[in-house]
Amino acid sequence: MKISILSVSENIYSTARLIEEAEERNHQVTVINHTKCSVLIGNHKPKIIYEGRNIINEPDVIIPRIGSSVFRHGAAVVKEFEMNGVYSTAKSLGIARSQNKVRTLQILNRKNVPIPKTVFSINPDNIEEQIELLGGAPVIIKLQEGTHGLGVILADSKKSAKSIIDTFISMDTSIMLQEFIQESNGEDIRAIVAGDKIIASMKRKGTKDDFRSNIHRGGSGQRIYLTHKEEEIVLRAAKYIGLPVCGVDLIRSNRGPLLLEVNSTPGFQGMEYYTDVNVAGQIIKFIEKNANL
């Protein structure tokens, strides 16, 4: 197959591993910097221009690795490939949905997927009411668009929460509030999905002085096996958001597993390191089975 990876650099770990595994299985692989693509539409003959040529008919398969800062443009590029019949491991609609945490949780809540209690509002006059809706402080304050643990703040008192929320609202920044799950002890679960299969999962724990468990923030990981309930939540979330290949984050609470978010571009350096699972190879095998070329 001709596989194009939409990524800003071939030197990023996950991109490099996908190249390695695809070439190992005799596929032709190119890396396309989606931020340098121009989409031309009109006369019913759309084009994707990259490095001076139209690449819309070049790949059989695309693997989007779209960062949060450019997801709108990236999703538009993916959409043009999709409409031209190119198989994608992440649908453009799924990319757009997953980048908006509130939208993701709205969809999953409607589908009865368990999530933490969440409040979103732009009203600066009822901040105290918003906090009380979650049972009071401490609360988690999150940017609606963020990644790698950035834009996630723990407010341990009502006073600090009001100050932080008021600041974000005054800056016209979209945020949401979530209940703080004390019993999680700074741990969460990341699972990587490929189709109807969970190919790897690990527990992540934050550093001693950080409640966030993201490995990019200095946390650590440990291979685990999910419960039947956790597996069900992960696979349903990936299906409802519309991402054949994705990362799904969970947290364990006293009332059972709760879904945190779905990531259309999960990094898997930590996952491969801590679980010894060949995640990149599993993704390439999934493409071979499902691209239907």
One domain for residues 214 and 125: no
Q: What percent of the chain has pLDDT over 70?
A: 94
Whole-model pTM: value is 0.89
Shared-domain flag, residues 102 and 228:
yes
The last residue of a domain, from among 150, 180, 210: 180
What's the CA gap between 60 and 64, in Å, rounded? 13
Q: Per residue in 71-125, pLDDT tens?
A: 999 999 999 999 999 999 999 999 999 998 899 999 999 999 999 999 998 887 8
- Same domain (yes/no): 110, 200: yes
Domain region containing 51 = 2-90
Domain count, the chain: 3
Cα 85 to Cα 39, 43, 60, 61, 196: the distances in Å are: 16, 18, 8, 9, 22
- Mean pLDDT for 165-185 is 88
Asked if residue 56 and residue 151 are part of one domain, the reply reads no
Helix (H, G, I), strand (E, B) or coil at 153: strand
**Starting at the edge strand that comes first in sequence, how are the strands of the sheet with 118-119 ordered?**
118-119, 175-179, 139-143, 152-155
Mean pLDDT across the chain: 91
DSSP per-residue string spanning 16-32: HHHHHHHHHTT-EEEEE
Give CA separation, 17 vs 200, 215, 277, 282, 283, in Å.
16, 18, 12, 11, 10
